[in-house]
Amino acid sequence: MDRLAGQIGGPTGRLYPAIEPFDRAMIDRDGGHSIYVEQCGNPDGQPVIVLHGGPGGGCSPYMRRFFDPRFYRIVLFDQRGCGRSRPSASVEANTTADLVGDIQAIRERLGLGPAILFGGSWGATLALAYAEAHPEGTTALVLRGVFMGRQEELDWFYGGGAARFFPDLWARFLKPVPEAERNDLIAAYHRRLFSDDPDIQRRFALPWLLWENALAGLEASPATQAPPEYARTFARLECHYFHNRCFLEEGQLLQDRHRIEHLPCVIVQGRYDMVCPPATAWRLADGWDRCELRLVPSSGHALSEPRIAAELVRTMDQLARRGIG
C-alpha cells in the first residue's frame, strides 16, 4: 500500500539534494525474475535498504533524498514485477518469501553488512518480514504507515471501513463491480485484473489504484487518471498479494516480533492515516521497549506529506549522529 511520491520537502528537516547512483545492476533470481538494484551515497557508509510500497509501487529518485549521502550507503531496488525489474507485472514466483530472499541475495551480492531497513506501508510489512527471518542482517528498522497484512487491516480498506469517511470515492471504487460480487471486492477485482482480456485488466486497474491514491494524502485532491501500464502493474501485483493475504499467516508479524525486539525501531505514523490507521502501528509498538512510535499531527499516509517527510529525515539524521550500526 502506497501512493506515487511527490517531490515535496518538509518545513524543517528538508530532504537532501537529488543525487545519482554510483552503481546500478540487474540481479537474476529464480522464476525468471531480474531485479533492478541501485546504490547511492557513501560506498563505505552505513547500509540502508529502502523498501517501497505497494506491492508494485516501485522505487523513485525521490526516495534517495531522506538520507545523508556522506554517512549512508543507500540501496534501493524494484521488487519483483514492478519498476525496472523484469518481467513486468508478473506474479509467477512472486510471494513475500521470494521478496525476503531477494533482499538477502542483494545483501550478499553487494557485500553488505547488517543494514537499516527503511520502509513504509507495504515496505514496512516487508521490512518486518525480512528482519524476523534475518535478524542478524538487520541493524535497525525505520517504518512509516505500518501495515502488517492482517485481515482486519484489509477489511478496513476493502471491506467498507474507510468508506465511512469517503463514501463518494468508495462509490467510484464499487461502480465497476456487479452488486452480487461486492461482498468480496478483492476477489472481484482479482478475477478481472487476471482476466485473459487485456482491456478488462486495464479497465479495472485504474479504479483500484485511484481508490488507494485518493486516500493517501490528508489534503490530496482525488486523482482521475494515471499512466495505464503503471496502473495495471500496481493493481495486479497488489491485488495478487492481498488476494493471498500477503502470503503471511494471520498475525504472523506480531507473533514473531520477539525475534527482533532486541533491535531499535522508529515508527513514523500519520495521525490521520486513512490507508493504514494508527491502531496498527500502536499494536506493533506496544510492549516493544526499543520501539519508538512518533505520531505525526495533521498528516495522513503518503511518504511525500511535508511533516511525514521531515520526521523521516530527522529520524535518519538522529541515527547517523548516534552511529547506529
Give the model confidence (pLDDT) of 280-291 as tens digits: 999 999 999 999
Residue 273 designated active-site: yes
Band (9; pLDDT cuts 50, 70, 90): very low
What is the C-alpha radius of gyration for the chain, rounded to an integer number of angstroms? 18
Supply the mean pLDDT for the chain.
94
The pLDDT of residue 75: 98
The pLDDT tens digits of the residues spanning 87-144 come to 999 999 999 999 999 999 999 999 999 999 999 999 999 999 999 999 999 999 999 9
Band (24; pLDDT cuts 50, 70, 90): very high
Q: To 5 degrees, how large is the angle CA 321–CA 76–CA 70?
A: 30
Amino acid type, 177: V
Of 33, 273, 299, 304, the catalytic one is 273
**SS3 of 316, please?**
helix
The pLDDT of residue 68: 98
Residue 301 designated active-site: yes
Of 2, 52, 301, 304, the catalytic one is 301
Q: Are 34 and 85 in contact (CB under 8 A)?
A: yes
Q: Does residue 54 surpass a pLDDT of 70?
A: yes
The pLDDT of residue 1: 77
Grid cell in block for residue 132? 524476523
Q: Does residue 301 surpass a pLDDT of 60?
A: yes
Q: Does residue 312 surpass a pLDDT of 60?
A: yes
Band (4; pLDDT cuts 50, 70, 90): very low
The pLDDT of residue 222: 65
Q: Does residue 325 surpass a pLDDT of 80?
A: no
Sign of CA dihedral 190, 194, 199, 205: positive
Query: Cα–Cα distance between 166 and 225 in angstroms, integer?
Result: 18
Average pLDDT over residues 45-53: 98
Predicted TM-score (pTM) of the model is 0.95
Query: Cα–Cα distance between 232 and 81 in angstroms, integer?
Result: 11
Q: Is 23-150+247-322 a CATH 3.40.50.1820 domain? A: yes
Of 121, 190, 240, 304, the catalytic one is 121
The pLDDT of residue 219: 75
Question: What is the domain partition of the chain in residue ranges?
Answer: 23-150+247-322, 153-245
The pLDDT of residue 107: 98
Query: Cα–Cα distance between 155 and 162 in angstroms, integer?
Result: 9
Q: Does residue 10 surpass a pLDDT of 90?
A: no
